Amino acid sequence: MQASTGTHITAATVHDRSIRALAREDLDALVAIDAASRGRSRHGYFGHRLAAALREPGLHAQFAAVDDKGLSGYVLARVLAGEFGRSAPALRLEAIGVRGDVQRRRVGTRLMDVLAGWARRHGIREVLTQAAWNDHRIVQWLDAAGFSLAPNHVVDAFVHGGTYSPGRDDPVAMPGAGGSTREINYATGTGNDFERLARDTAEVRSMVPEDLADIARIDRAIIGRDRTAYIEAKLNETIVDSAIRVSLTAHDRGVVMGFLMARTDLGDFGRTEAVAVIDTIGVDPDCAHRGVGHALVSQLFANLGALGTERLESVVAPHDLGLLAFLYRVGFTPSQRLAFVRKLS
């Protein structure tokens, strides 16, 4: 049996002989447990998560609880290495489920204990997750499992098919241009201000591997440290699964001015609808106040509208008030979802 984590975990390793690493062969039983709780099958989502763990074992922790009837519960988590501006690694709890006939036998608690132990051994001191504020059952469970409200802001915006929105899609004034918007339209090759949108003030396209050096340079200028490995991992994910990542770069005469890393989320935290999530956004400090961020977000909304994704979400650190203000300006509002954290000693 092939484990979906790269650490060759056995029952002895986790000190609970009823818990082992989740394996590809568990998929159908896992989907059945989830469907019994959610009322619909999410086979595609869980298939993606298992495949991702086999492809990138160092970034995933996935465990199965078993008994004489087979799979009795599961937990799936992913390592956050740099998303949302993080400087220290954390675990994102993506999904947890328990078979109906063992709901009150502490299976979920034991799975969380095993997950916490794995995190500690890998130098991780926080487990993060989200839940809707009015999902009382899961909020109560999170409380019992040792989670508390996290300080992070969860914000989201409805895509509405990518239709025009003034605050997001209107081009912004550029310094040195007499207070007017930029006089170039990459989409049409004209200077027609009436038809130009924010995304036309830069050449915005899908992120490609050749962008790595420029993205790392911009990120280093903003963050103050090198995160090339994190960015390269995100780019590799784009190549392997283009349906998951919808990342963009903004260019001016061949030079990368900014980037936006985003992905479509097909079911994390119990979601039953596709949601896009912005992980990272950055603009070259030398290109600040030129509408680059607006151009990236405007194009992202247009792309998501074409894909049929109806909601875009992000998580902002409490100290990053500049980013929070920018997201509010382009149409984001406080989400109905709350961020939770479990601190690990």
CB contact set of 236 (below 8 Å; sequence gap of 6+): none
Predicted pLDDT at 13: 44
AA identity, residue 66: V
Asked whether residue 119 falls in the same domain as residue 175, the answer is no
Reported confidence tier of residue 16, pLDDT bands at 50, 70, 90: low
Which amino acid is it at 96?
I
User: Is 341 part of a structural domain of the chain?
Assistant: no
CATH of the domain at 54: 3.40.630.30
pLDDT, tens digit (0-9, with 9 covering 90-100), for 217-245: 999 998 888 989 888 887 887 667 665 67
Q: What is the DSSP letter of 152?
A: P
* End-of-domain residue from the set 84, 105, 124: 124
Confidence of residue 303 (pLDDT cuts 50, 70, 90): very high
Q: How many domains does the chain divide into?
A: 2
Pick from 39, 81, 331: nearest CA to 31: 39
> Do 161 and 117 belong to one domain?
no
189 and 318 housed in the same domain:
yes
In a domain, 131, yes or no: no
d(CA 234, CA 209): 10
Same domain, 195 and 77: no
Q: Is residue 135 part of a domain?
A: no
Answer whether residue 330 shows pLDDT above 80.
yes
Phi-psi category of residue 106: left, alpha or beta, with phi > 0 → left and psi -120 to 50 → alpha = left
* 193 and 106 share one domain: no
Alpha carbons 92 and 132: distance in angstroms, whole number = 16
Of residues 250 and 6, the one with the higher pLDDT is 250
Domain membership of residue 284 (yes or no) is yes
Q: Are residues 171 and 225 in the same domain?
A: yes
Instruction: Tell me if 208 is assigned to some domain.
Output: yes
The string of DSSP letters for 236-303 reads HHHHH-TTTB--EEEEETTEEEEEEEEEEESSGGG--S-EEEEEEEEE-GGGTTSSHHHHHHHHHHHH
Residue 276: give the domain boundaries.
155-335
Asked if 212 and 313 sit in the same domain, the reply is: yes
For residues 37 and 85, membership in a common domain is answered with: yes
Residue 35: which H helix or E strand, with range?
Answer: helix 27-38
Q: Is residue 237 part of a domain?
A: yes
Query: Which of 142-156, 177-191, 318-332 has the least mean pLDDT?
Result: 177-191
* Whole-number pLDDT of residue 11: 41
Q: Are 191 and 199 in contact (CB under 8 A)?
A: no
Residue 143 lies in a domain: no
Q: C-alpha angle 151/155/161, rounded to 5°?
A: 165
* Residue 76 amino acid letter: L
Global pTM reads 0.83
189 and 301 in a single domain? The answer is: yes
Question: Residue 260 forms beta bridges with which residues?
Answer: 248, 281
314: Cβ contacts below 8 Å, ≥ 6 apart: 84, 154, 155, 156, 277, 278, 279, 327, 332
Same domain flag for 97 and 181: no
Q: Are residues 107 and 222 in the same domain?
A: no
**Statement to judge: residues 78 and 185 lie in one domain:** no
User: How far is it, in rounded angstroms, from Cα 204 to Cα 244?
Assistant: 19
Domain boundary residue among 81, 102, 124?
Answer: 124
Higher-confidence residue of 263 and 216: namely: 216
In a domain, 199, yes or no: yes
pLDDT band at residue 173 under the 50/70/90 scheme: low
